[in-house]
Amino acid sequence: MNKILVKSGLIALAVAVSACTDPGRFGNGAGGDGTVGADAYDPNNPASNPNSPAYFSQRVGDRVLFAVDQSTLSPEAQQTLTAQAQWLNTNSSYSAIVEGHADEQGTREYNLALGARRANAVQEYLISQGVAGSRLRTVSYGKERPIEVCSTEACYSQNRRSVTVLSAGAGS
Amino acid sequence: MKKLTHLLAGLALALGITPAIAQDGPLRIEITEGVIEPLPFAIPVFIAENAAAQEYAAQLSQVVAADLAGTGLFRQISPDSFISTVSNFDAPVQYADWKAINAQALITGAVSVAEGGRVNVKFRLFDVFSEAPLGDGLQLGGTTTSWRRIAHKVADQVYSRITGEGGYFDSRVVFVHEEGPKNARQKRLAVMDYDGANVQYLTNSASIVLAPRFSPTGDRVIYTSYETGFPKIYVMDVGTVQRRILEDQPGTMTFAPRFAPDGQTVVFSLERGGNTDIYRYSPGGTTQALTNAPSIETAPSYSPDGTQIVFESDRSGTQQLYKMPANGGEPTRISFGEGRYGTPVWSPRGDLIAFTKQHQGRFHIGVMRTDGSEERLLTASFLDEGPTWSPNGRVIMFTRSGSGAGGESALYSVDISGRNLKRVPTPGAASDPAWSPLLP
């Protein structure tokens, strides 16, 4: 139940900020979104609280992107994941599910396996940065949940992603 | 009988690569580079032998005609051109009248409905130019609600007698019904007759479901569902719609299941630590790994004799097709063309493997011999994938998806010759078809 509440909160926030082209459940925008104001805590803006899930998804950045048919982490991805790990290490009451996704250019089964590779690469990196493995799970959606729907590289590049989805609880 | 032999030989060849049948005069076979001329047949509306049979007689003969014409191998002659009328099932056939309109095959039938709602259908098939029946008359019966199945069985008999091949009309297709935009797509399992009739939903849209496959007897479906939040394999009884999770599934995700020909053993993909391998579940026994490699191994499919498994792997760097003994062991690569190959499926005849090929930004459905030779691409589009075989191994159904925000998925079918590509009717967007065996 807690988990569901947290997710609902994320979605509501993403709609309010309306900076994302798709405020869906599968990733709520990258970090560094300029529409969020000062760092001071504002009770009306959960993202201003550095310990909030909203801060994690918007300021830290809950997703990283991958090259075609690859699961290696780019320097940018590593930077985001280092910040994710720091946040998770600070906020130990949260665990996370790392979702792996692929673009639509591939067969269904292969893309499931490819998404799993991506999710696992992220999980391993987070563990290497000190996050307990028991707080992390992975799942692949293959090409089932694109975030952008056009059929060009502009969209594909956004869909080849992992998304770190927080849930309340310190994991198993 | 000599002409009958020609008829059989002509159609048998017509199922192959490039022959054509001349339609004028006695049957003869002409090999050309052109399109096959379908065999013209006449099917007078079946005779209603009692009042209750009236509503079924016309529909039954329509479904038989649609089955045959839908293959692309037969062409229905318009009843407007008929010279003879058939009002008595046992009256002698006026061959001259059917020859005059160039009907090469004639199908006659009679329908009666007994009290209690049982439909009986008698039919006969005639080789017009040989002036002889083709096989014996046959009587089929069933409940009134199953009248379409009776029609499909009649059509299967006709197809089978003329082509020498097994039929495929009395069969079903399980598939994934889709709704909503690409980024919020809802999926439900559904099952229908091969021609799109009698759609029945098997799951609601609460969880993503993927790639259902029939058991060898067609009574169960095995598929992947995200019910738990993670992809796991489920088995459903199609009759009762009762489902259960397949026991003994270690790993993070399990997917891409298929039954072995024994109907009990299941081969599937299991992902652990980011790595996907092929595993085998034996009921009452254990789940064991059949591959053990750091690469992706998925989409396994048994040979019909159960001795081999064909699958895809990117161990060479890109997705390619391999086969291995059913107990595991050293895989042999069988795909060597340009591009990437996936989703191999062994033909029920054992002679061919169908696959998805990706090359230069396009997707194709193709077939190759089981050693990888004689590759032929049957389709090309933005995204074709996931072939499934008709019970007789002559037709392939697959998913075709459109590009962009409005791009929906639909089911298509195509002959193994590459002819007769057509959309299969579904109530909405659809994907991941799997053909049942011929029903009992």
Greater confidence, B1 or B173? B173
The answer to whether A140 contacts B404, with C-beta atoms less than 8 Å apart, is no
Chain B residues within 8 A of A104 when measuring between CB atoms: 182, 383, 401
B positions 162-221 inside 8 Å of A (CB): 181-185, 208, 210-211
Please give the pLDDT value at position B29: 25
Tell me which of A3, A11, A107, A136 to substitute to probe the interface with B (most B C-beta atoms closer than 10 Å). A107
Band of the pLDDT at B252, cuts 50, 70, 90?
confident
Name the minimum distance, in Å, from the CA of B350 to any CA of chain A: 23
How does pLDDT run across B392-421, given as a tens digit for each residue? 999 999 999 999 998 999 999 999 989 999
Average pLDDT in the B83-87 region?
90
Strands laid side by side in the B308-313 sheet: B297-302, B308-313, B320-325, B332-333
The answer to whether A108 contacts B210, with C-beta atoms less than 8 Å apart, is yes
How does pLDDT run across B102-131, given as a tens digit for each residue? 999 999 999 999 988 899 999 999 999 999
Query: In terms of Cα–Cα distance, which of B273, B272, B268, B314 is closest to B295?
Result: B314
Segments in chain A below pLDDT 50? 1-38
Q: Is B241:B235 a contact under the CB 8 Å cutoff?
A: no
Residue in A with minimal Cα distance to B228: A139
C-alpha–C-alpha distance, residues A3 and B93, integer Å: 75
C-alpha–C-alpha distance, residues B226 and B203, integer Å: 12
Q: Is A162 helix (H, G, I), strand (E, B) or coil?
A: strand
Please give the pLDDT value at position A40: 57
Average pLDDT in the B272-296 region?
94
Q: Where are the domains of chain B?
A: 2-163, 172-435
> Around B57, how many Cα atoms within 13 Å sit in the side-chain half-sphere?
20
Name the minimum distance, in Å, from the CA of A43 to any CA of chain B: 31
Chain B residues within 8 A of A144 when measuring between CB atoms: 185, 208, 210
- Class of residue A5 by CB neighbours under 10 A (exposed 0-12, middle 13-18, buried 19+): exposed
- The beta-carbon neighbor of B253 closest among A24, A140, A150 is A140
C-alpha–C-alpha distance, residues B296 and A108, integer Å: 13
How does pLDDT run across B41-81, given as a tens digit for each residue? 999 999 999 999 999 999 999 999 999 999 989 999 999 99
Please give the pLDDT value at position A41: 65
Angle at B212 between CA B373 and CA B293, to 5 degrees: 55
Same fold, B2-163 and B172-435: no
Q: How many CB atoms lie within 10 A of CB B259?
A: 20
The answer for residues whose C-beta is within 8 angstroms of residue B386's C-beta and 6 or more apart is A107, A108, B211, B343, B356, B398, B399, B431, B432, B433
3-state SS string for chain B: CHHHHHHHHHHHHHCCCCEEECCCCCCCEEECCCCCCCEEEECCCCEECCHHHHHHHHHHHHHHHHHHHHCCCEEECCHHHCCCCCCCCCCCCCHHHHHHCCCCEEEEEEEEEECCCEEEEEEEEEEHHHCEECCCCEEEEEEHHHHHHHHHHHHHHHHHHHHCCCCCCCCEEEEEEEECCHHHCEEEEEEEECCCCCCEECCCCCCCEEEEEECCCCCEEEEEECCCCCCEEEEEECCCCCEEECCCCCCCEEEEEEECCCCCCEEEEEEECCEEEEEEECCCCCEEECCCCCCCEEEEEECCCCCEEEEEECCCCCCEEEEEECCCCCCEECCCCCCEEEEEEECCCCCEEEEEEEECCEEEEEEEECCCCCCEECCCECCEEEEEECCCCCEEEEEEECCCCCCCEEEEEEECCCCCCEEECCCCEEEEEEECCCCC
Residue in A with minimal Cα distance to B207: A144
Please give the pLDDT value at position A86: 97
B103 touches chain A (CB under 8 A): no
Question: What class is the B2-163 domain?
Answer: alpha beta
Tell me which of B176, B178, B179, B183 to substitute to probe the interface with A (most A C-beta atoms closer than 10 Å). B183
Please give the pLDDT value at position A21: 39
Name the minimum distance, in Å, from the CA of B33 to any CA of chain A: 33
The total number of structural domains in chain A stands at 1
How does pLDDT run across B342-371, given as a tens digit for each residue? 999 999 999 999 999 999 999 999 999 999
Mean of per-residue pLDDT scores for chain B: 91
The answer to whether B274 contacts A137, with C-beta atoms less than 8 Å apart, is no
Please give the pLDDT value at position A65: 98
Please give the pLDDT value at position A168: 87
C-alpha–C-alpha distance, residues B30 and B104, integer Å: 16
Q: Is B346:B310 a contact under the CB 8 Å cutoff?
A: yes
Average pLDDT in the B176-182 region?
95
Residue in A with minimal Cα distance to B314: A110
A30 lies in which domain range? 2-168
Please give the pLDDT value at position A172: 59
Q: Which of A107-121, B17-31, B318-332 has the lowest mean pLDDT?
A: B17-31
Q: Is B146:B406 a contact under the CB 8 Å cutoff?
A: no
The answer to whether A112 contacts B385, with C-beta atoms less than 8 Å apart, is no
The answer to whether A110 contacts B319, with C-beta atoms less than 8 Å apart, is yes
Strand partners, A98: A138, A164
C-alpha–C-alpha distance, residues A19 and A10, integer Å: 13
Domain topology for B172-435: Neuraminidase (2.120.10)
- The beta-carbon neighbor of B342 closest among A104, A110, A120 is A110
- What's the CATH number where A110 sits? 3.30.1330.60
